[in-house]
Amino acid sequence: MADILHRIAVKTTDIAAVYRTLVTLEGLKAWWTEDTSGEPGKAGGVIAFRFGAGGFDMQVTELVSPGLVQWKVVAGEPQWIGSVITWQLKETDGYTVILFKHQGWKEATEFMHHCSTKWAIFLMSLKDLIEKGKGAPTPRHKDR
């Protein structure tokens, strides 16, 4: 098993605003992919994230405002199915810190390496959304 782990500090004490970027369609569309639908704000709800032809369906497995969000991948890219994405938020020294985990990869494939880098890029998009008012979601983000 292999994990993708990241940490990013967003310059805001408004932890609820960061939480909203994870639990509302408006928030998710503004930093990850504009083609997002479903029920991100409801435990047990399913969110459909689409990136052109492909994408993922995630079930919301934990939702504790404003500090914890967890999703389980239930459909989409085979390597992602069954993996779990956890967001932990905490306020510290004038920042809202996000601890991000994408766990449960069966193998450390080249695609997993790619996803690790892309998650960092999208976390920066989320940071820019809060700090500058504008993220860079798919398809607007520059392809890396």
Residues making contact with a second copy (CB under 8 A): 2-9, 99-100, 108, 110, 112-114, 116-117, 119-121, 123-124, 127, 144
Q: How far is the CB of 133 from a second copy (least distance, A)?
A: 17
Nearer to a second copy (CB atom), residue 61 or residue 88: 88
Instruction: List C-alpha distances in Å: 63 to 67, 77, 94, 134.
Output: 8, 24, 24, 25
Q: How far is the CB of 126 from a second copy (least distance, A)?
A: 12
Nearer to a second copy (CB atom), residue 79 or residue 116: 116
Nearer to a second copy (CB atom), residue 50 or residue 118: 118
How would you label 48-83 residue by residue, b for 16+ Cβ within 10 Å and e otherwise?
Answer: bbbbeeebbbbbbeebeebeebbbbbeebeeebeeb
Q: How far is the CB of 38 from a second copy (least distance, A)?
A: 27
CA-closest candidate to residue 22, choices 58, 75, 74, 76: 58
Nearer to a second copy (CB atom), residue 28 or residue 123: 123
Q: How far is the CB of 119 from a second copy (least distance, A)?
A: 8
Show the 3-state SS of 63-81.
Answer: EECCCEEEEEEEEECHHHC
